[in-house]
């Protein structure tokens, strides 16, 4: 994690926010997400193997997602509505990952 940076970027076409990882000292980017919904607020899991992030959905819903830090399919670990956490599921508790000011 110390030599990697995770961030949200709209990409070269500036069309949609996705999650990227960059190894410090290189020009190469690894695009982790490619969903039509905006992805943002990435945060490393405590062990560095996964990245948590938020995904905007229609109707003011936000999914709390996880993805392996070197790529793979993302999975939902919880959801929010208008900034309030409503529930969770899966292998990780959303309470263990600090995502953004939106997550209480």
pLDDT band at 92 (very low <50, low <70, confident <90, very high): very low
* pLDDT in the model for residue 59: 80
Strands (E), the chain: 4-9, 18-23, 29-31, 39-44, 50-56, 61-68, 75-81, 84-88
Across the range 15-21, mean pLDDT stands at 91
What pLDDT sits at residue 27? 87
Residue 54 has pLDDT above 50, yes or no: yes
Per-domain boundaries in the chain: 4-96
């Amino acid at each position: 994690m110390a030599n990697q940076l995770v961030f949200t970027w709209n990409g070269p076409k500036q069309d949609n926010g996705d999650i990227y990882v960059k190894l410090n000292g290189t020009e190469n980017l690894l695009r982790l997400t490619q969903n039509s919904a905006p992805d943002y607020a990435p945060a490393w899991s405590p062990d560095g193997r996964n990245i948590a992030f938020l995904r905007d959905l229609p109707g003011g819903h936000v999914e709390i997602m996880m993805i392996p830090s070197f790529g793979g399919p993302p999975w939902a670990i919880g959801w929010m509505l208008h900034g309030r956490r409503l529930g969770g599921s899966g292998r990780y508790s959303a309470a263990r990952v600090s995502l953004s000011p939106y997550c209480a």
